Structure 1
């Protein structure tokens, strides 16, 4: 730092300001100093008020938000408000994403095997009836070719399915309590979804993965970890062959099994994920699927100009029927509920009851939440989620009125369909709310990190302002 050598004690900043001001009389100088003193007093007073506001907030209860429906919103909150902790946790999701990839392969293999067995059984019946029906249609070689192809790919991908068991054990997954995955209102393979305890699965992965190295790669921390990645990498070509086979694609379409519409679908990212140095991106983690059993609590302090360092509690309670009994204790003193309605599931059946449409179940749940007297003063924010998938389905020719008869003969486009569903939710909200309150609704695709991050920040600001009013802090 330069050292003054002229012997003057005058502050150089003050001197510069005086040079700007120019010559001033003694009276002008006194007036200026008086104004500066008053400005300092006002600034210090504002600082003290802000400090008092923060202290008052610390004495009040935290802001409480309940997430009903999807943990992707929780991941978005984590990315926004605890970036360092998120950066440390992100590599742990590699095993989950690898498992998602393998589960998609298993689902396709099971659909393929089931189709081949049915086709083979049909041919056997034809052979048995040939003596009685000479004019029977000729046998096709397709079924035997399909069965051979199925056995070939199963054998080639056997190491991958063994890795699946390893990942399940590492994640402490409960396979017995899993539910059959139902992806459409048509015939489905016997595929069971897996679930984990909300509190235990991360700890097992954290022991193996400590973080990323400076060059962005995942350090080698465990031989088993490396072995899993190597097996997936060695199966990449066979996985690609399975996913791009036109005959298998025809089977999936015939069985109404839209694997690429399911959460946790990564087959289109095979080149990136089937790499021994693969590190999950934020986008990968947002798309990852892992059903959790139990309530996840997330705590953070939101330091923004609008929230003054308030403490927040977000509870991800899950949306499945089997978990709804655990919601009640979290209704007390909750400031807001973010209700995630997956509107793209209009053509899917409920996991727990294949006879119930998923969107119908969501609407019934919305009605129950709106009319609950414990939530009469609670702000409810509706996220009509998975808009991108719904738009994709409607564009592909899936008719909304086939599954929702009341939609009648309206245009089968996203703008018309989303507006119709929004009105339905709004009418239920106003008819069943115990008291008058504002209807908040947003169209969302929570896997779009940038857009959903801005939306969640805006919703959080709205919730916080309401929180301040309710606690007489403004």
Structure 2
């Protein structure tokens, strides 16, 4: 007995049947058209995915590594400025909010430092008055000196009377509206959490152990951050398609923020120019001018109602982003390696666990080591020197089995800040004790550091060329030249690996 096959159950509802009415036929044909449209869309998506995958396979993939604030984001901005300028121009105005936030952050940091020092000074003088006679100081009978009368030591702010006046209290009061503006801008952008973790230290360079005086607990301010999934830039640059550029309330908040910043401009300028404020910042080592996102020297221009960011402003701007960022570039070269993908996986200790998952299928690693921070400590762990931390990361990269055949490129970054710091009299040998009695200048210090990083690469047992560049990511002209050299080297290495070179 033969079995009559039943029709395909998936198309049963689309087949005509006996006695079909005109309305049913119309409905059936509409369903057929919709089903075909869905099928065609799936086929087209599969085709596009295949093309994208082929392009991804052929693309030059670069992984940027380095500790937090090493200059990775600024380096990527330089790539965008040089190789994707049209997109850069479209997004440049969106950075106005970030630059305003950077300026306000500097002001609120100064106010927080002033408040803390004022309180400590007030409490200290009260204790002194209770325990000592009016003719004696609390410190072995030595008179308290105003801060301008002597050079401050590393932790000497506890022993100095700063000459605060009613003018400083008035400035604090007049600048209070900026606290609300900062909160409004951060709420508009959206925040992300930051979590520190712990890692070991390295013995490659001898660093002095922190003594009891310098290692007292330091207050760490949580840096504002956004998630990589936050579309703040798209909203501000108008890339959200059918969505409105900004909600009415958000647009009004941004307008109000610009107006308040403008009206506070003269007070911000007065605060930054004040001699006592500068003495407090120097005494507490709050080096605002050495950090990215510093615009206190451009107050008049940045607070203007009609302010528009320049290329250099965007390069300087600072916005910490949590998560892995992926940047695509189409770089004409006629070599078959026009598509580039740059990955920034974050540099905080909490982000480093994710690094190894990106070591596969990449062409090169660009590692940024900020050499100007030889006298600074990690925000996550104040017992670890930042230069020591960079050396530890470099050692890990050099010894990683997953990166055995990967080209490593080292950027000794922030050379401009290193030169400024050494020129101001800060001694490199005070923080790197086996530097010896070599000259305290940029050529000698960078030569020493090159040898240290090179030795780690050589000791890894992998015979690789040592590519090292002295960089200042904030110097766009110099970085353009460096990136052109790096581009040529990466392309040549990629072709060499593909056995295209004779």
Shorter-chain TM-score range = 0.7 to 0.9
The correspondence for 1:243, drawn from 272, 275, 278, is 272
1:263 aligns with 292
Look up the SS of the partner of 1:397 in the other structure.
coil
Match of 1:310 in 2: 338
SS at match of 2:58: coil
Structure 1 residue 236 displacement after superposition: 0.8
Alpha-carbon separation, structure 1, partners of 2:425 and 2:145: 31
Deviation at 1:229, TM superposition (A): 1.2
Q: Distance in 2 between matches of 1:78 and 1:139?
A: 53
Written as runs of structure 1 = structure 2, the 5 A alignment for 1:435-454 is: 435-454=462-481
Matching residue of 2:458: 430
Q: Any conservation in 2 of the 1:100–1:265 contact (CA below 8 Å)? A: yes
Offset from partner CA, 1:337-384 (integer Å, 9 cap, x none): 000000000010011100100000001110000010100000000000
Q: Is the 8 A contact 1:116 1:147 kept in 2?
A: no
Distance 1:205 1:303 in 2: 26
* 1:344 and 2:372 are equivalent in the alignment: yes
Taking structure 2 as the reference length, what is the TM-score of the superposition? 0.75
Higher relative contact order (CA 8 A, sep 6+): 2
Cα drift, residue 148 of structure 1: 4.0
The answer (yes or no) to whether the contact 2:327–2:342 under 8 Å persists in 1 is: yes
**Residue aligning to 2:260:** 231
Cα deviations by residue, 1:129-169 (Å, 9 ceiling, x for unpaired) = 24xx4643489999696274443222100111110001111
Quickly say closer, same or farther: Cα 1:176–1:418, change in 2 above 3 A: closer
Secondary structure of the residue that 2:405 maps to in structure 1? coil
Separation (CA, whole Å) in 1 of partners of 2:128 and 2:329: 66
Distance 1:309 1:366 in 2: 27
1:470 CA drift (Å): 1.3
Shift of 1:285: 1.0
1:254 to 279, 283, 300: 283
Partner-residue secondary structure (3-state), 1:80: helix
Query: Per the alignment, do residues 190 and 324 of structure 1 end up closer, same or farther by CA in structure 2, a change over 3 Å counting?
Result: closer
Distance in 2 of aligned mates of 1:194 and 1:59: 33
Could you tell me how far apart the structure 2 residues matched to 1:169 and 1:245 are?
31
- The reply on whether 1:153 has 2:182 as its aligned counterpart is no
Residue number in structure 1 paired with 2:136: 136
In the alignment, what sits opposite 2:128?
126
Supply the distance in 1 between the matched residues of 2:351 and 2:270 (Cα, whole angstroms): 39
Q: Name the CA shift for 1:144/1:443 in 2 (closer, same or farther; >3 Å).
A: closer
The alpha-carbon distance between structure 1 residues 236 and 370, as it changes in their structure 2 partners (threshold 3 A), is same
Look up the SS of the partner of 1:363 in the other structure.
helix
Alignment of 1:11-160 (within 5 A): 58=55, 60-69=57-66, 70-130=72-132, 133=133, 135-137=135-137, 146=164, 148-160=166-178
Cα distance in structure 2, aligned partners of 1:176 and 1:155: 30
Give me the whole-angstrom Cα distance separating, in 2, the residues matched to 1:274 and 1:168.
18
Residues 470 and 229 of structure 1: CA distance in aligned 2, closer, same or farther (over 3 Å): same
For 1:271 and 1:363, how far apart are their aligned partners in 2?
40
Contact kept in structure 1, 2:185 and 2:254, CA below 8 Å: no
**Residue 51 of structure 1 corresponds to which residue in structure 2?**
none
User: What CA distance in whole angstroms lies between the structure 2 residues aligned with 1:286 and 1:358?
Assistant: 23
Q: C-alpha distance in 2, partners of 1:140/1:379? A: 56
Distance 1:390 1:429 in 2: 23
- Structure 2 residue aligned with 1:193: 223
Change (3 A) 1:111 1:194: same
Structure 1 residues 372-383: aligned runs within 5 Å: 372-383=400-411
Q: Answer yes or no: is the 8 Å Cα contact 1:381–1:439 preserved in 2.
A: yes
Offset at residue 292 of structure 1 (A): 1.2
Size of the alignment, in residue pairs?
402
The SS at the match of 1:361 is: helix
CA root-mean-square deviation: 2.7
1:283 matched to 2:301? The reply is no
Mind listing any 5+ residue stretches in structure 1 that lack a counterpart?
Answer: 1-56, 180-184, 212-219
CA contact (8 A) 2:74 2:473 kept: yes
Describe the SS at the equivalent of 1:146: coil
Paired residue for 1:393?
A: 421
Deviations, residues 301-331 of structure 1 (Å, cap 9, x unaligned): 21124x4452211101122211111111110
Q: Is 2:60–2:337's contact at 8 Å kept on the other side of the alignment?
A: no
Q: Secondary structure at the match of 2:119?
A: helix
